[in-house]
Amino acid sequence: MDDTDSSNATQTLPGSPKSSPEAFQNIPISKTTGVNSLVLIRLEINGEMKELIVDTRQSLLDVLREKLGLTGTKKGCNQGACGACTVLLNERRVVSCLTLASMHNGAVITTIEGLEKDGQLHPLQTAFIEHEGFQCGYCTAGQIMSGVACIAEGHAGSREEIQFWMSGNICRCGAYPGIVDAIAETAGRG
């Protein structure tokens, strides 16, 4: 059963800039609440400002993948248990599957696509390649984003410390030795 009604879809959003009614056509209204559950948010994503109309129930992961086409961030468990969807939100790592996009208006988001600068891989990306810190590659984006944060947070002083602070990221292929080596090497360069 469809829980949206498009017959009353042309509305303006509270707090939104002046827009023509056409801009909001075909926006579904929730039958369960009887109100529009959409909000306008502004995010800086990988250095670019974006204005987005999002459902208040939509995860940051779904906004990144479905609205912005940034598919490097992976949907693994969709329960916050695997770390495949890790991104940096205001320079702190978060699992984007459990993060509501609408709660972070004005935030700065960095995804795996935003790590390279001027065509050069981030040093941790290079170290992952050199140390074979991946096998199938599905968890790699989340591992790298978490590793970048681990180093920035000062949690890469030893292999044991890296293992502890990276424990929220699962690699089902078992590439952990290469992941730890890559983070340790990159932290040592810094």
pLDDT tens sequence across 80-135:
999 999 999 999 999 999 999 999 999 999 999 999 999 999 999 999 999 999 99
> CA 138, 168, 101: angle at the middle one, nearest 5?
75
Question: For residues 167 and 142, is the Cβ–Cβ distance under 8 A?
Answer: no
| Tokens coding 93 | 């790592």
Q: For the chain, how many structural domains are there in total? A: 2
**What pLDDT shows up at residue 189?**
75
In a domain, 98, yes or no: yes
Q: Are residues 128 and 170 both part of a single domain?
A: yes
Burial 145-182 (b: 16+ CB within 10 A, else e): bbbbbbbeeebbeeeebbeebbeebbbeeebbebbbbb
Write down which residue in 67, 91, 114 finishes a domain.
114
Question: For residues 9 and 29, is the Cβ–Cβ distance under 8 A?
Answer: yes
pTM, to two decimals: 0.81
Q: Are residues 96 and 151 both part of a single domain?
A: no
Q: Are residues 25 and 79 both part of a single domain?
A: yes
**What pLDDT shows up at residue 55?**
95
pLDDT greater than 70 at residue 16: no
Q: Is 3 helix (H, G, I), strand (E, B) or coil?
A: coil
Place of tokens 């890559």: 182
In a domain, 1, yes or no: no
Quick one: which H or E segment has residue 111?
none
In a domain, 3, yes or no: no
Q: Are residues 102 and 164 both part of a single domain?
A: no
Say which CATH number the domain at 74 has.
3.10.20.30
Q: Are residues 25 and 103 both part of a single domain?
A: yes
Q: Are residues 37 and 74 both part of a single domain?
A: yes
184 closest CA partner among 141, 145, 140, 127: 127
> Which residue range forms the structural domain that includes residue 29?
8-114
Q: Are residues 104 and 145 both part of a single domain?
A: no
Q: Model confidence over 59-94: pLDDT tens digits?
A: 999 999 999 999 999 999 999 999 999 999 999 999
Say which CATH number the domain at 172 has.
1.10.150.120
Quick one: which H or E segment has residue 178?
helix 176-189
Q: Are residues 131 and 74 both part of a single domain?
A: no
171 closest CA partner among 114, 128, 124, 130: 128
In a domain, 173, yes or no: yes
Sign of CA dihedral 113, 115, 117, 120: negative
In a domain, 2, yes or no: no
Q: Model confidence over 160-188: pLDDT tens digits?
A: 999 999 999 999 999 999 999 999 999 99
Q: Are residues 141 and 94 both part of a single domain?
A: no
β-pairing, 86-89 vs 4-5, is unpaired
